[in-house]
Structure 1
Amino acid sequence: MNEPYLIVYVKDGTMYFAKKLPAETKSREIFEVEIDEVISDEFDEAAKKLGATVLGILSLWHKDAFPGWGIPSDAEKEENCDFALAMELIGRSVAGKTKTHVQSIELLLRQAAIKTDSVQQFLDESWPPIRANLEGYSG
């Protein structure tokens, strides 16, 4: 199996996404979504969201397997800068089990959502459960 790899599983009504990096001995969760939230969408819409998430993560890690995917133009890079920073902070927050960056993430997402409909959709639909998860951390 090629590393890094993504693990998606369901346990106790929650869908978990975990990753395993080459330098790690075991996988670790990166985010979770309640199944009720997933199935609140029609199947096709849920499949698009989950599929986009999985392909987006894998294409970042395995660029050779997905040539040309996710390579934004210079205008898109500038437009997505706030969103990319928010995603980086989400990753750091989950890895460090901290809620410290929640307000910064929210601000970055709101700024990026002004420019991009897909970011607005992320802010409306995906961010609330991620935020709730982060706010559950003590630090």
Structure 2
Amino acid sequence: MQNMLEKLIGESKVLERAIAGEDLNAQDGIELMKSDDHYMIGAVADATRKKLVGDKVTFTASSYLNYTNVCAASCQICAFYRKENDNDAYTLTPEQIEGRVSAAKMMGATEMHIVGGFHPKLSLDYYESMMKIIKKIILN
């Protein structure tokens, strides 16, 4: 019972500081992560958001550009990468990049999220060309 009370008091103090607009630290975050009172934490977070920015909501229309799945890293957690000689390995040409970015722009994209592997043979020129294509299309 004492443990529960200490936990509630600890959470309460953190939430009070959040409502007061004080910065929370990593330990405060850990304290809240241990909490089972998700409703109260959400209510405090919502009240804090309203106090800081009101009900204004913004968003970015982002599109993913997967320019290559060839990667030398072979991270065990990644299901995306392929070796250069794999049948389903790919690297987009500048023309393909232009086509995909143009299609994304026509669908309302205002930003491109660039995703790819550590391709061992792509040069700096390839990346510079890709950036120029994206900039030309998205910013126009």
TM-score by structure 2 length? 0.28
Q: Which has the larger radius of gyration?
A: 2
Larger relative helix fraction:
1
Q: Which structure carries more relative contact order (alpha carbon 8 Å, separation 6+)?
A: 2
Larger relative strand fraction:
1
TM-score by structure 1 length? 0.29
